């Protein structure tokens, strides 16, 4: 080496030796460098390494980013992007080319996370994950809600306080998950998949409090978005404050500005249902009232018909006649009232006399009644039967036999005594014999 140079002036080097000398010189001179340029010829190898070219209007340089560093890039690299890269100068000896081995890349003019957010948002939009037509509606009367959030965060406190304040009769199942940092997105996905497929869950709230884009990044990851998309129950995204939007907000069926607002939405749905029922009741009441008024008008119209009016006139005339009679009666009463006092004694005396006469008449009538009753009793057929006489009836017991000629030989008859009956059959009929002749024969 001369004057500190790696190259000897009079030496002859092989290509490999020269390349090695150049490699040492470059890598020693540029241990770390920042380079700004536009990406072109981008290629992601199956090994996970990234290969591309950085260029500006005048020059270009090859770049490589190995798998380990490539995994840390939050956004997707593509041709045409302007980026700022940090790396080391390296000589790739097989081709004798120098390149930059990059360990950090940032988009120029916008943050890496913001760019990654926009890229994923556009990708999922094109796939239809944000389509309003696929979004599910909240149930009218939810009974059980699932919540995926940190058990120690402000979000779960806000949700439970809101439900308690509104006296919501809801069952709440909480899936504890990290909402920030490494592994947070995986736990959120596990919570969504578990609760959304649990029998009885009506709606799911996924959320956390506000924060920076770095704090909220777990809700911007693709696997969280796809877990929300495949949930069979409605999902409310409640991430951050009103000004914060995440990918989860766009995919969810409903976006709430805060966790407490998400709890309000669940309750308000039931309240809206109750108000709707109350509205139906009011409309039904008004309809019934209108119906009754209409029927009342029909009755009034019918009552005004000429036929009913003539009947009404007759009723009024009769009522007027009653009034006239009442007036005449009062006149008569007033005219007779003066003579009532004088005639009262006469009336009392006459009443006493009449009462005596009535008593005598009743006594006479009572005596006559007793005589008639005695005579009637003596003439009663039943009383006669007690003296040994009998009644002869046809066999049907309905027709009385009054003469021997009313029956024939061999005919059945019934003979009734004061006590008991005989069923008889006629052996012979003598129409001419009388009780007198039998008595005479017995006497002789």
What per-residue confidence (pLDDT) applies to 39? 85
Its pTM stands at: 0.45
Structure token digits, residue 33: 């460098």
Identify the bridge partners of residue 144 per DSSP, sorted by sequence position. Answer: 171
- Per-residue burial over 36-45, b = 16 or more CB atoms within 10 Å of its CB, e = otherwise: ebbbeebeee
Alpha-carbon gap, residue 224 to 208, rounded angstroms = 14
Average pLDDT for the chain: 80
What per-residue confidence (pLDDT) applies to 110? 60
Domains of the chain (ranges; CATH) run 15-109 (2.40.50.140), 135-272 (3.40.50.10550), 391-443 (no CATH)
Which residues does the chain have with pLDDT short of 70? 1-7, 109-113, 166-168, 241-244, 269-281, 302-314, 316, 333, 336-343, 345, 347, 377-382, 438-444
Helix locations, 254-305, DSSP H: 259-303
What per-residue confidence (pLDDT) applies to 277? 67
Identify the bridge partners of residue 348 per DSSP, sorted by sequence position. Answer: none
Percent of the chain with pLDDT over 70: 83
| Residues 313 and 306 sit within 8 Å (Cβ to Cβ) | no
What per-residue confidence (pLDDT) applies to 3? 43
What per-residue confidence (pLDDT) applies to 193? 93
Question: Would you list the DSSP string of 87-108?
Answer: EEEEEETTTTEEEEEEEEEEET
Q: Among residues 204, 259, 260, which one has the least CA distance to residue 236? A: 204
CB pairs under 8 A, 24+ apart, for 70-75? Answer: 73/105, 73/112, 74/112, 74/113, 74/115, 74/116, 75/107, 75/112, 75/113, 75/115, 75/116, 75/119
What per-residue confidence (pLDDT) applies to 1? 42
């Amino acid at each position: 080496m001369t004057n500190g140079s790696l190259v000897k002036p009079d030496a002859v080097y092989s290509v490999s030796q020269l390349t090695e000398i150049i490699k040492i010189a470059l890598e020693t001179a540029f241990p770390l460098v920042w380079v700004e340029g536009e990406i072109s010829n981008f290629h992601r190898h199956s090994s996970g390494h990234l290969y591309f070219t950085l260029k500006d209007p005048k020059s270009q340089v090859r770049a490589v980013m190995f798998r380990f560093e490539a995994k840390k890039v939050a956004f997707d690299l593509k041709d045409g992007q302007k980026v700022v890269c940090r790396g080391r100068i390296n000589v790739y000896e097989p081709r004798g080319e120098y390149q930059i081995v990059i360990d950090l890349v940032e988009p120029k003019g916008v943050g890496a996370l913001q760019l990654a957010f926009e890229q994923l948002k556009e990708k999922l939009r094109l796939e239809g994950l944000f389509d309003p037509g696929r979004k599910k509606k909240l149930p009218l009367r939810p009974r059980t809600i699932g919540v995926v959030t940190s058990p120690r965060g402000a979000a779960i406190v806000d949700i439970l306080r809101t439900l308690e304040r509104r006296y919501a009769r809801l069952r709440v199942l909480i899936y504890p998950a990290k909402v920030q940092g490494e592994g947070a997105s995986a736990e959120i996905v596990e919570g969504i998949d578990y609760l959304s497929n649990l029998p009885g869950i009506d709606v799911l709230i996924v959320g956390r409090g506000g924060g920076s884009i770095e704090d909220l990044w777990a809700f911007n990851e693709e696997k969280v978005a796809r877990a929300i998309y495949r949930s069979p129950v409605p999902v409310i995204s409640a991430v951050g404050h009103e000004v914060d939007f995440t990918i989860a907000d766009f995919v969810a069926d409903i976006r709430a500005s805060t966790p407490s607002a998400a709890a309000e939405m669940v309750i308000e749905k039931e309240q809206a249902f109750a108000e709707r029922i109350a509205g139906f009741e009011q409309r039904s009441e008004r309809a019934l009232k209108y119906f009754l008024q209409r029927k009342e008008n029909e009755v009034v119209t019918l009552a005004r018909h000429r036929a009913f009016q003539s009947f009404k006139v007759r009723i009024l005339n009769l009522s007027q006649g009653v009034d006239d009679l009442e007036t005449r009666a009062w006149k008569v009463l007033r005219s007779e009232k003066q003579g009532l006092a004088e005639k009262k004694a006469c009336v009392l005396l006459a009443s006493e006399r009449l009462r005596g006469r009535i008593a005598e008449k009743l006594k006479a009538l009572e005596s006559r009644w007793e005589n008639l009753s005695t005579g009637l009793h003596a003439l009663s057929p039943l009383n006669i039967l007690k003296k040994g006489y009998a009644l002869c009836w046809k066999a049907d017991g309905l027709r009385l036999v009054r003469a021997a000629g009313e029956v024939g030989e061999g005919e059945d008859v019934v003979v009734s005594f004061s006590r008991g009956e005989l069923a008889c059959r006629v052996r012979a009929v003598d129409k001419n014999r009388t009780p007198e002749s039998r008595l005479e024969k017995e006497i002789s």
